[in-house]
Amino acid sequence: MSRMRARIAERLKEAQNTAASLTTFNEIDMSALMAFRAKYKEQVLKDHGVKLGFMSAFVKASTIALREFPAVNASIEGTGTSAEIVYRDYADVSVAVSTPKGLVTPVLRNAEQYNFVEIEREIANLGKKARDGKLTLEDMNGGTFTISNGGVFGSLYGTPILNPPQCAVLGMHAINDKAVVTADKQIVARPDVPGSHVLQTADHRVIDGREAVSFLVLVKKLIEDPALLNLYN
C-alpha cells in the first residue's frame, strides 16, 4: 500500500471502531439548480475559465448549514473524561474529486469565504493535482466536513464512512428523472435525486437526530431554491 492509501485505510477503520454512526436520507428536486447551471455555465466559462458544476452549490449550501448547525462541523478531541467537543467558525471541506483510481477528498480550506466561481476554481485546481498524482498528505488532512460524490460513477445508494476526526459526511448520488405530484395534483417528471441522493452520516456522540435531520433539510431547501444561497452572508 502507498503511504497515502495506508493512512486513509487507518483513518476509515478508526471511524468504524469509534464513531456511533447515524445516517439520515432525503430527496432533492434538482430542477431549479439544473436550470441555474444551464443559464449561467457558458457565461461562467467565458468570463472565468471554469466549468460550473453541481458541487459548488452543495459546498455553498453545506457551509451555510454548518454555520446554522455547528455540531455538524465539530470534532471530539481527547478520550474518556478528558474528551472535549471542539466547535469551529470556519469550514474546511473535504471535497470528492475523481481520479483514474477513484475518488479522493482533498481539502477546500475556508470554503465558507468562497462564491460559486471561486469554489469551482479551487475544486478544479485540486482535481488537477489529484489526476497528476501531486496531492500531498497536507492536501488531504485537516478537513472539518466531507462531501462525497458516488454519483459520478453512477451510484444510486450508499452510506459513506466518516473521516475522523470529522463528525459528518454528506453523500451525493446519481440524478435521475422521477415522477412527482405537484401542488396542483399533476404528475410530472422531475430530475430528482432518488432515495439517498443526499444523505448524511453523522457521529451520534456529537450530533443528535434533530440536528442531523435539520442540517440535511436545510441543504435540501437551499439546493431546491438556489436564490436562497444569496440571502446568507
Contact 58, 219 (CB under 8 A): yes
> How confident is the model at residue 139, as a pLDDT?
92
Number of domains in the chain: 1
Rounded-to-integer distance, Cα 133 and Cα 79, Å: 36
Residue 204 annotated to the active site:
yes
Return phi, psi of residue 195, to 5°.
Answer: 55, -85
Cβ-proximal residues to 138 (8 Å cutoff; 6+ apart), any chain: none
- 8 A C-beta contact, residue 139 and residue 106: yes
pLDDT of residue 144: 96
DSSP label at residue 45:
H
Note down pLDDT in tens along the chain; length 233 residues. 888 788 878 888 888 898 999 999 888 888 899 999 999 999 999 999 999 999 999 999 999 999 999 999 999 998 878 889 999 999 999 998 877 777 788 999 999 999 999 999 999 999 999 889 898 888 988 999 999 887 677 777 778 889 888 999 998 887 877 777 777 888 887 765 543 357 788 999 999 999 999 999 999 999 999 999 988 76
Supply the CATH number for residue 133's domain.
Answer: 3.30.559.10
CA distances for 150 relative to 55, 98, 176, angstroms = 12, 10, 14
Catalytic residue among 89, 177, 203, 208: 208
Q: Exactly one of 29, 48, 204, 225 is catalytic; name it.
A: 204
Q: What is the pLDDT of residue 192?
A: 57
Residue 9 belongs to domain spanning: 3-230
The pTM for the full model equals 0.87
